[in-house]
């Protein structure tokens, strides 16, 4: 599984990245978490608000930081 | 025939077994979800209880704050109410606590608005409907209710351009976004009162509208960065369906409150420093000290204040307490508001952020037009306030 965090490097993006990593650890799924900071790449996903969470090239959440539990449930889908 | 019956029998048996299995798994799932439900319910109940106790406590603290701080400074640590030191210390504690309460409440409130503000729907709305100028208001208002941060502003700017929204409307958003933010509003509310806050926020939104309109008329699209122009050329009206927020409010609240608290924590130091400087000036700087340069009857006061302020980069938390002292010492409110707007609305970090999407020339024009508008606004306020 591929998880990407889209964000230009603000505090919120960092906390989302942290939450995503925790969620991966919690569920034990085999996933790579990467951060996308380049604005042009971010725009390719068509998101208007960052931070955004992308799982396997599908934008699942934008514009907010979610709890670890919520990401866990997104991962299980 | 018999064989057929047997097979059907076996089939039904199989089906029944399957059914039973399904039922079992349904029961398990139900139990699991009920268990989760219980835990969730407990969490929600706890949260509601916490909000129901903390909120009135904060309001009560806010209400009784002057008395509390008075008894703290004058009775407990025995400072003289008439002394400069006593006055300054009292002022410091009162303002700091008051502003932190306001900041926390307003940040959380804005967080709620933000969580439910349908950005995508707004974009579709702006591109598909004919709004006869009202689009400037929507974009500007939107800028006011969203926090300004590199996380949101640039992606939104591109998102607007990509959706084929005119550059002027996008600028309306970009002007108001840093100008009217939760920190500025909380500080204004705490130090200047409701009326000045409304004037500040209202004129901020108005300025976004007017500035956006004027910049839109100047046909500046050619000064956007090349890649943004490419995006603009491929702009299409997206009619994507707007997906409503499905997470229930009560479950989003903890994160909203945490975000609100994070904002308070982040500016805490600036608030304290700003108010400490303000308190020191309040107690020690004589009346009419600043009026020598910035009084209402000096025609150059407003432009001087604004031009001094543009390169200055201070966040609202640090600068408003100092401005409040300016006003208390005789500087007119219009000049003060203009100064404040120039400090928070236009800054070097913002300019560097914008270089990602536009050429320096456009940033120059953008800053120039806004500076001019702020100066006009300052004169206007000094005339009517």
Assigned domain for B43 exists? no
Handedness of CA B222, B228, B231, B232 (dihedral sign): negative
> What 3 state SS string does B130-161 have?
CCCCHHHHHHHHHHHHCCCCHHHHHHHHHHHH
Q: Which two tokens stand for residue B214?
A: 């004027």
Return phi, psi of residue A69, to 5°: -60, -40
Q: Report the pLDDT value the prediction gives residue B242, as an integer from 0 to 100.
A: 45
Which B residues, 264 through 303, put their C-beta within 8 Å of a C-beta on chain A? 266
In a mutational test of the B interface, the residue from A5, A6, A7, A8 whose CB has the highest number of chain B CBs within 10 Å is: A8
Nearest CA in chain B to A11: B151
- Give residues 208 to 247 of B whose Cβ lies within 8 Å of A: 227, 231, 247
Q: Of B145, B135, B138, give the one whose Cα is nearest residue B179.
A: B145
Instruction: Report pTM.
Output: 0.75
Q: Is residue B79 part of a domain?
A: no
The residue with greater pLDDT, B206 or A74, is B206
Assess if residue B204 is contained within a domain. yes
Distance from CA of A49 to the nearest CA of B (A): 5
- Decide: residue B225, CB within 10 A, 0-12 exposed, 13-18 middle, 19+ buried: middle
**Domain segments of chain A as ranges:** 2-76
The CATH number of A2-76 is: 3.40.30.10
What per-residue confidence (pLDDT) applies to B113?
81
CA of A70 vs chain B CAs: smallest distance (Å): 10
Measuring CA to CA, which residue among A49, A48, A61 is closest to residue A4?
A: A61
Buried b (16+ CB within 10 A) or exposed e, B2-21: eeeeeeeeeeeeeeeeeeee
In a 3-state reduction of DSSP, which class is residue A65?
Answer: coil
CA torsion A60-A66-A71-A74 (nearest 10°) is: -40
On whether any CB of chain A is under 8 Å from the CB of B126, the answer is: no
B120 contacts on A by Cβ (under 8 Å): 48
Residues B325, B369: contact at Cβ < 8 Å? no
pLDDT digits (tens, 9 = 90+) for A16-57: 888 888 888 888 888 888 888 887 788 778 777 778 888 888
A8 touches chain B (CB under 8 A): yes
Q: Assess if residue B5 is contained within a domain.
A: no
CB pairs under 8 A between A and B: 56
Range of the domain at B173: 110-235+256-384
Please give the pLDDT value at position B245.
53
Q: What angle do CA B98, A10, B352 make, to 5 degrees?
A: 100
Over its C-alpha atoms, chain A yields an Rg (Å, rounded) of 11
pLDDT at B289: 65
Say if residues B364 and B164 touch (Cβ distance below 8 Å): no
B76, exposed or middle or buried, with CB in 10 Å at 0-12, 13-18, 19+? Answer: exposed
Please state the domain count of chain B.
1
Phi and psi angles of residue A32, each rounded to the nearest 5 degrees, phi first: -105, 125
pLDDT per residue, tens digit, chain B (385 aa), is 444 545 555 555 555 555 555 555 555 555 555 665 677 778 788 888 888 888 888 888 888 888 888 888 788 877 777 777 787 888 888 888 988 999 899 888 888 887 777 777 777 777 777 777 788 998 898 888 876 665 567 778 888 888 788 889 989 988 888 888 888 888 889 888 898 899 889 999 999 999 999 999 988 888 888 888 887 777 765 545 445 556 677 777 887 888 888 888 888 888 898 888 888 877 676 666 666 667 666 778 888 888 888 777 667 778 888 888 888 888 888 888 888 888 888 877 778 878 888 889 999 999 999 999 999 998 888 888 7
CA distance B20 to B225: 64
Helix or strand run (H / E) with residue B126: helix B119-128
Apex B233 CA angle, B230 and B234, nearest 5: 90
Enzyme catalytic residues of A: 10, 13
For B82, residues 6+ apart whose C-beta sits below 8 A from its C-beta are none
First to last CA, chain B: 100
The three-point CA angle B166-B167-B170 to 5° equals 95
ipTM for the predicted complex: 0.71
Which tokens belong to B233?
């050329």
8 Å CB contact of A50 and B162: no
Which chain B residues are within 8 Å of A19, Cβ to Cβ? none
In the stretch 25-64 of chain A, residues with CB closer than 8 A to chain B read 39-40, 42-43, 46-51, 63-64
Helix (H, G, I), strand (E, B) or coil at B335: helix
């Amino acid at each position: 599984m591929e998880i990407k965090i889209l964000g230009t490097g603000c505090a919120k993006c960092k906390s989302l990245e942290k939450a995503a990593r925790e969620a991966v650890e919690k569920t034990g799924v085999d996933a790579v978490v990467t951060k996308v900071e380049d604005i042009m790449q971010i725009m390719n996903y068509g998101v208007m608000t960052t931070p955004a969470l992308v799982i396997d090239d599908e934008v699942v959440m934008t514009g907010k930081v979610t709890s670890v539990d919520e990401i866990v449930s997104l991962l299980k889908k | 025939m018999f064989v057929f019956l047997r097979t059907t029998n076996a089939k039904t048996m199989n089906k029944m077994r399957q059914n039973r299995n399904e039922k079992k798994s349904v029961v398990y799932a139900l139990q699991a979800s009920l268990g989760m439900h219980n835990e969730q319910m407990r969490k929600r109940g706890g949260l509601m209880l916490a909000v129901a106790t903390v909120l009135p406590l904060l309001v009560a603290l806010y209400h009784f704050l002057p008395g509390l701080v008075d008894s703290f400074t004058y009775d407990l640590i025995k400072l003289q109410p008439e002394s400069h030191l006593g006055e300054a210390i009292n002022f410091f504690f009162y303002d700091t606590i008051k502003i932190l309460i306001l900041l926390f409440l307003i940040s959380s409130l804005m967080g709620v608005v933000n969580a439910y503000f349908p950005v995508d729907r707004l974009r579709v709305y702006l591109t598909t409907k004919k709004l006869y100028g009202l689009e400037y208001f929507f974009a500007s208002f939107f800028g006011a209710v969203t926090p300004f941060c590199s996380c949101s502003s640039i992606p939104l700017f591109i998102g607007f351009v990509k959706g084929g929204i005119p550059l002027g409307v996008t600028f309306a958003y970009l002007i108001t976004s840093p100008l009217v933010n939760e920190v500025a509003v909380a500080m204004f509310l705490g130090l200047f009162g409701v009326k000045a806050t409304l004037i500040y926020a209202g004129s901020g939104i108005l300025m976004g509208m007017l500035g956006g309109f004027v910049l839109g008329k100047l046909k500046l699209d050619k000064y956007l960065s090349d890649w943004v122009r490419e995006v603009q050329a491929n702009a299409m009206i997206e009619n994507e369906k707007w997906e409503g927020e499905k997470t229930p409010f009560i479950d989003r609240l903890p994160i909203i409150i945490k975000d609100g608290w994070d904002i308070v924590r982040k500016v805490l130091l600036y608030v304290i420093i700003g108010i400490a400087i303000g308190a020191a000036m309040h107690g020690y700087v004589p009346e009419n000290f600043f009026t020598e340069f910035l009084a209402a009857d000096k025609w150059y006061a407003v432009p001087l204040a604004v031009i001094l302020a543009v390169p200055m980069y201070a966040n609202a938390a640090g600068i408003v307490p100092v401005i409040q002292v300016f006003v208390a010492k005789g500087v007119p409110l219009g000049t003060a508001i203009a100064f404040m707007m120039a400090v928070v609305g236009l800054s070097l970090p913002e300019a560097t952020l914008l270089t990602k999407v536009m050429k320096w020339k456009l940033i120059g024009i953008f800053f120039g037009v806004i500076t001019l508008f702020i100066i006009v606004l300052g004169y206007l306020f000094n005339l009517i306030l």
